[in-house]
Chain A
């Protein structure tokens, strides 16, 4: 059930490539194709990418420069997922700790300006001005509220302080239910926290899927970190809830979202204790964890066309400039935006409500 990040991404990439290469093909059929890059063999990028970028005056996202470095198929994300590819935001699994580790991304090597400038500032000699005051790490503790994807930063409580998941559910209902619904279904327009919607929609006009903890969030640690730092909305980081209470709420949300704790799919029982161990167990089995990938942009690599541009760049993408989409209509048949607003009969801001 839990495919690794890389294999899932490969599927995603194949789908994205299908769309991307369609564009690439129409682009080369529309104009003269660039000559194959020198020093670039199939499946490998040019190792002298720095020189190529420099020669181009720093145009690292120019189509021709990218072709020289990546080869003709610059739309191929497959190569970009290789952490050694200069255009890749990805880092090696060995660094991020595998598919369920604290995943990392990086600034691509091809972003030479950023990297050079950072390196310059890193290397420059610096002697402190001495305007600050030294402070002990222990004195910072009350402000150190972050719990990262590895679970670093969890407060450790005496064993008898942890509450049961059932009790955590009560705390949740008391402090959170009025806005997020008793079972995390959402209320009063506030975000639902446990809705298991499919993340793929069949029609592009369908409402975007609800992204909640179970179907979307990649880390369980984020539940504790975020809820303790920012919820309940009107009185965040509430002493009335306390760390034990926040563990209780976190465990309840893990349970409500049906997140398993082991390979056999065991879920939390009401009598289980809400501990950091429970959060870390769930952290390994977040359903959607493997579906995230580092920034894959730029998604297009157009040339700057000035005259008689090919159809795929014109109007609806097939050359028809009158085939535009009308504004969406409300059930009463009026346009979704307020037409009078455009004529200054009503000021901007008086839009339609409630969708």
Chain B
């Protein structure tokens, strides 16, 4: 056991990912004794005096510590909150919207405060929401799901019926294809919540769509599309090709262990991992199996991408790999030169994240970050990299490569092909400019665009 731990200690810093900053920090000290295992050599790297060196010269606190009043008084009782609430101190961690984005608050969007989140799970109350006709309050007992069209036996299900089927639970990100849309023509917002907050990542539980379609006897020789439809005022609908439907879609009734929230489709919604959130039809009440697509407004007028020459891309189902540095980001200010643990999120609609690289110099040189969360299919992946900031101006970017080998492009590249009238799928890298510590804006982090 002990030996194994020593081995890990040695192996970790040899990773390309951490070399850069580590080496800079350890400059002048003995190099890591990589490869020398099962000896005392590993611990020779650790020198307690050296470890505390950065504290040298810092003023020591001498005032004795005091108790807070909570040390001498009882807290609140266990029955006060049958459904737990976030502590009031963090009430600023909220979904927020930009008033000017949409003319009507019933067809609108709120965004997830990514800058304040940790790990890869979005709490249910902070899951972004996008409505096209308000969020209905449907009771599960009144809700039905119909499957019909090119099937042997049209069927109708209650929500309880659905819960009887074998279930699956998966963690997936869900992203509005308009995430980042406000940044096509240049930056106009200065928070990760605005630039990337039209997405969340939660654990969904539900029934495989392929099971439900086969339950009704889907006629695979003729079926090419499924047309899911919502029970809400918008009657949301999209056309989903059969390959995607049979691959990994499911009908979810739970989100992070509890029933879906109304904002996310209670009592049931479609989960279309890796694809445009608009396809994840909420309040799902009907699935028609068809040989042709619907050409619904949401796949013609909207969710199609206008190119600079006036043509438009349609049926752009997959969310491309993307990444963002959530700290430091425009939501935070640098605290002075020194070591920073740069962290962020990466995700890909086509599978797992393979690498995340971070640049501090606007894209000339890159350093591989390491993952601090599980690396799951079509889910957020957390990355971190250590950075010794010398206080000079820096341009931070993150770049994801996914398991299909796709490398996230730069904004100039994306603009060259797609123009700026596109609205959707702006998945190029963003850049955070860190103002020099000795400049007027002292360590301000600013969203800039190349």
Q: Which residues of A contact B (CB under 8 A)?
A: 8-9, 11-12, 15-16, 19-20, 22-23, 56, 58-65, 89, 102-107, 111, 113-115, 117-119, 121-122, 126, 128-129, 131-137, 140, 143-146, 148-150, 152, 188-190, 198-201, 204-205, 208-209, 211, 213, 216-219, 221-222, 225-226, 229-230, 233, 236-237, 288, 291-300, 302-309, 312-317, 319, 321, 323-328, 336-339, 341-343, 347-349, 351-355
B197-211 with Cβ < 8 A to chain A: 208, 210-211
Contacts of A132 in B (CB 8 A): 147, 155-157, 161, 215-216
Q: Which range holds the interface residue count of chain B? A: 35 or more
The CA-CA distance from A134 to B383 in the complex, in Å, is: 49
Q: Pick the residue among A129, A309, A317 that contacts B413 (CB under 8 A).
A: A317
Extra 16 A-B pairs, beta carbons < 8 Å, given A299-B414, A305-B366: A9-B311, A59-B405, A105-B315, A121-B208, A126-B214, A131-B162, A132-B215, A137-B154, A148-B292, A216-B301, A229-B237, A292-B313, A292-B314, A317-B416, A325-B187, A327-B447
Asked if B18 CB lies within 8 Å of chain A CBs, one says no
Bitwise interface map of B from 436 to 450 toward A, beta carbon under 8 Å scored 1, else 0 = 000000001111111
Q: Pick the residue among A198, A296, A308 that contacts B365 (CB under 8 A).
A: A308
Q: Report whether A104 and B417 are in contact in the complex, using a CB–CB cutoff of 8 Å.
A: no
Asked if B296 CB lies within 8 Å of chain A CBs, one says yes
Asked if A61 meets B357 with Cβ closer than 8 Å, knowing A22-B416, A105-B314, A308-B365, the reply is: no
Q: Report whether A61 and B405 are in contact in the complex, using a CB–CB cutoff of 8 Å.
A: yes
Distance of B134 from chain A, by nearest CB (Å): 10
Measured CB to CB, the nearest residue on chain B to A288 is: B312
Q: List 21 A-B contacts (CB under 8 A).
A: A15-B308, A16-B307, A56-B405, A59-B404, A59-B405, A61-B350, A89-B315, A111-B243, A204-B415, A216-B312, A222-B295, A222-B300, A233-B133, A293-B314, A295-B315, A297-B318, A298-B320, A308-B364, A348-B194, A349-B97, A351-B99
Measured CB to CB, the nearest residue on chain B to A138 is: B154
Asked if B341 CB lies within 8 Å of chain A CBs, one says no
Q: Pick the residue among A19, A291, A328 that contacts B416 (CB under 8 A).
A: A19
The CA-CA distance from A64 to B401 in the complex, in Å, is: 14
Q: Pick the residue among B155, B288, B317 that contacts A295 (CB under 8 A).
A: B317
Measured CB to CB, the nearest residue on chain B to A133 is: B156
B391-450 with Cβ < 8 A to chain A: 395, 399, 401-407, 409-410, 412-421, 423, 425, 431, 433, 444-450
Contacts of B410 in A (CB 8 A): 313, 317
The CA-CA distance from A136 to B333 in the complex, in Å, is: 63
Interface segment out of the listed B3-11, B68-76, B120-128, B226-234: B226-234
The CA-CA distance from A352 to B315 in the complex, in Å, is: 34
Asked if B386 CB lies within 8 Å of chain A CBs, one says no
Q: Report whether B247 and A291 are in contact in the complex, using a CB–CB cutoff of 8 Å.
A: no
Q: Report whether B210 and A236 are in contact in the complex, using a CB–CB cutoff of 8 Å.
A: no
Asked if A208 meets B234 with Cβ closer than 8 Å, knowing A60-B404, A113-B351, the reply is: no
Asked if A58 meets B362 with Cβ closer than 8 Å, knowing A12-B307, A102-B292, A225-B296, the reply is: no
Candidate in B133, B410, B420 with the most chain A CB atoms within 10 angstroms:
B410
Q: Report whether A342 and B330 are in contact in the complex, using a CB–CB cutoff of 8 Å.
A: yes
Asked if B169 CB lies within 8 Å of chain A CBs, one says no
Measured CB to CB, the nearest residue on chain B to A153 is: B294
The CA-CA distance from A144 to B246 in the complex, in Å, is: 23
Q: Report whether A300 and B241 are in contact in the complex, using a CB–CB cutoff of 8 Å.
A: no
Asked if B259 CB lies within 8 Å of chain A CBs, one says no
Q: Report whether B401 and A304 are in contact in the complex, using a CB–CB cutoff of 8 Å.
A: yes
Q: Report whether B405 and A118 are in contact in the complex, using a CB–CB cutoff of 8 Å.
A: no
Contacts of A221 in B (CB 8 A): 295
Q: Report whether A143 and B285 are in contact in the complex, using a CB–CB cutoff of 8 Å.
A: yes
Contacts of A62 in B (CB 8 A): 404-406
B57-113 with Cβ < 8 A to chain A: 92, 96-100, 103-104, 106-107, 113
